Amino acid sequence: MDEKQFDNIYNLPEDQIHLPDSEVLETEPTTGRLPMTIILIGLVIILIGILGGLIWWGRELLLQSTPPAVVPIATRPTAEENNEPESTKAEAEVETLGAMSTSDEIDAIESDLIGTNVDSLDAELPAIEAELEN
């Protein structure tokens, strides 16, 4: 500002210097819409952020949930692991049972039934019971 303008501001005539007539400054009336709009926009942004976070989290879970490699667990010992003395006899019986016919004709089933030795199934039960009692 120039010094001349500065002097003009403070050297006003007394009839131009007065206090405002009203006690309250008049402003434009607010309708209350602006704060509500800002709140709604904020809520929409927050909801979009939460939804995006949930989508990202679910995608991460799906990517991490690849099934682990299945390792087969042997439930029966192999022939090399089985050190029982009767294993050769058991293997022979299993091979005999495996030699059955695959036909579903009555004559083939009957011949398989006649050829199966089921009498020796109970032969080892007394030895097992005696071993369990001791």
Which residue in the block uniquely carries the two structure tokens 């979009």? 48
Tally of domains within the chain: 1
Q: Residue 49: inside a domain, yes or no? A: no
- Reported as a single tens digit per residue, the pLDDT across 11-47 is 677 777 777 676 666 666 666 567 888 899 999 999 9
* CA neighbor of 9 nearest in space, from 17, 69, 34, 75: 17
pTM (2 d.p.): 0.28
Yes or no: say if 113 and 107 are a contact pair by the CB < 8 Å rule: no
Q: Residue 103: inside a domain, yes or no? A: yes
Q: Residue 104: inside a domain, yes or no? A: yes
Rounded distance between C-alpha atoms, residue 59 and residue 23, angstroms: 62
Residue 97: domain span: 90-116
Rounded distance between C-alpha atoms, residue 118 and residue 115, angstroms: 9
Q: Residue 96: inside a domain, yes or no? A: yes
- Reported as a single tens digit per residue, the pLDDT across 73-125 is 767 777 677 666 665 666 676 666 667 777 888 998 888 888 777 777 777 78
